[in-house]
Amino acid sequence: MSNLAFKMALRDWKKIILIAIVLAFAGSMFIYYNTVMFEMRHFSPNNINMEESDAEKFRDMKVPTTKSEMLVAAMTMLIVLAAVLFQLNMLVVDMINKKKEYYALQVIGVSEEQVELFPLLYSILAGALASLIIAAVWIPIFPYFKSALNIHAISLGLIILVIILFFVMSTIIGVKAREITDYMQ
Amino acid sequence: MNREFLTINDVYKGFGEGDNRVEILKGVNLNLTNGEFVMMLGPSGSGKSTILHLIAGLTPVDRGQIEVCGVNVQKCSTNKILELRRRTIGYVFQDFRLLQGLTALENVMVPLYAVGRSRSVAKKRAEELLELMELSHRMHHSPRKLSGGEQQRVGIARALANEPKIILADEPTGNLDQRLSDGIIKMLSTLPQKMEVSILMVTHNQQLTKYATRIVGLTDGQIEVQSNV
Ligand SMILES: Nc1ncnc2c1ncn2[C@@H]1O[C@H](COP(=O)(O)OP(=O)(O)OP(=O)(O)O)[C@@H](O)[C@H]1O
Ligand SMILES: [Mg+2]
């Protein structure tokens, strides 16, 4: 059954790409701003850990205040949340459109878990593609990014975290979409 | 040869609570034996669809009992009911209810995968069924590219996939014009000669009753025999 669900999801590639781009965009905003904030705060010229050569790069930069850091973190979080809600919304609308067909599958004896494969694979594909886009964009430019801003390895952790987060979140959304659809009706 | 595939014994069913309560079925009795093609007529809201839902175990009866091939539907576990729907009952919908994202062939493969058939076995069986439905040339099309009549033939192929003993069809031609309806029902009526199956079909269309082996009516919550053809 999963190969049918996979085929069906793939045939909806336009929607999957749209979701993936929105997720990847939001994730990139999150990574970029939080990395910059983090690095600027902790590796600024005022910071004693800073080497002389690195201090050069930060000479004219304003060190963010805790307040502006928090604001940026909160805003990027909101953007990520909006993107995830967008994904959820797309999935729920799709499920509502196909509700009758999915119900019919249960009537002909397909178990609930197997019916769930259809939205699940759709969601996983979108999440995986978003993770892939983020990985493909950020991992290669990371070394340059790192030297340009003298970025610390922790930021790589942030990138990887976002990649994993989107993948896991898409799986959870896929599983929960049916319940949410039922609840909304 | 005259095996009983379905026995409905004094079944009651109502909906709602308290003042809103309405009794729909009030002592329904109906049998279905191998090879029969029974058509059920009755006014809108009389409970025809409800009877089909009860047989498929989609809702519980209030009173009475329903046996499908010797299995008491009310006493079944969830898994047993699923098994029944997979292997013993085939369901045909008025609005076809095919997955648009799959091809005709893949739609017919769904119930075969549900019983654990391998890809090659499922594909072969689905091809055979679509050939039987004279849809060989349309196998790889999405249902949205098929006409209503063709979609319903895919729906019937899907219902037949696991060699069910009972086909439940709820106004299968309700969305089709007279000529197409006639073709579909004529084809349905030949099935009992080709395989061990019986059909219970709900219809509003009097002109189709000529294909039935028996016609029953549902009025005031009870089944009355209208004619034996
Ligand atoms: N789940 C439900 N909850 C409440 N009432 C229901 C439910 N299902 C059916 N009914 C009611 O039971 C009655 C019979 O419904 P049913 O769908 O079986 O009629 P029908 O004979 O198939 O009608 P039609 O020819 O219009 O399809 C209707 O009045 C309907 O409103
Ligand atoms: Mg009905």
Superfamily of domain B1-88+165-229: P-loop containing nucleotide triphosphate hydrolases (3.40.50.300)
Residue B102 exposed, middle or buried by CB count within 10 Å (0-12, 13-18, 19+): buried
Spell out the alpha helix ranges (H) of A43-111: 52-57, 66-97, 99-107
Ligand 1 neighbourhood includes B46 CB (under 6 angstroms): yes
From the CA of B50, the nearest ligand is 1
Q: What are the extents of the domains in chain B?
A: 1-88+165-229, 95-163
pTM of the complete model:
0.86
Task: Grade residue B132 by pLDDT with cuts at 50, 70 and 90.
Answer: very high
CB contact under 8 A, B111 and A114: no
- The CB of B85 under 6 Å from ligand 1? The reply is no
In tens, the pLDDT along A158-178 reads 778 888 888 888 888 888 877
pLDDT digits (tens, 9 = 90+) for A66-106: 788 888 888 999 999 999 899 989 988 888 899 899 999 99
- ipTM for this model: 0.89
CB B198 within 8 A of CB B165: yes
Question: Considering only CB atoms, which chain B residues are within 8 Å of A98?
Answer: 99-100
pLDDT band at B43 (very low <50, low <70, confident <90, very high): very high
- Whether pLDDT at A29 is above 70: yes
Residue B185 CB partners (closer than 8 Å, separation 6+): B172, B173, B201, B208, B211
Q: Quote the tokens at residue B144.
A: 């949205």
Per the model's pLDDT, the better-predicted residue between A138 and B70 turns out to be B70
**Sequential DSSP letters for B182-193:** HHHHHHHHHHHH
What are B151-187's pLDDT values in tens digits?
999 999 999 999 999 999 999 999 899 999 999 999 9
CB contact under 8 Å between B102 and A109, yes or no, is no
* Residue of B83, B87, B102 lying closest to A8 (CB–CB): B102
Cβ B83–A114 below 8 Å, yes or no? Answer: no
- The pLDDT of residue B182 is 93
DSSP label of B223: E
The answer to whether A82 and A26 are in contact (CB under 8 A) is: yes
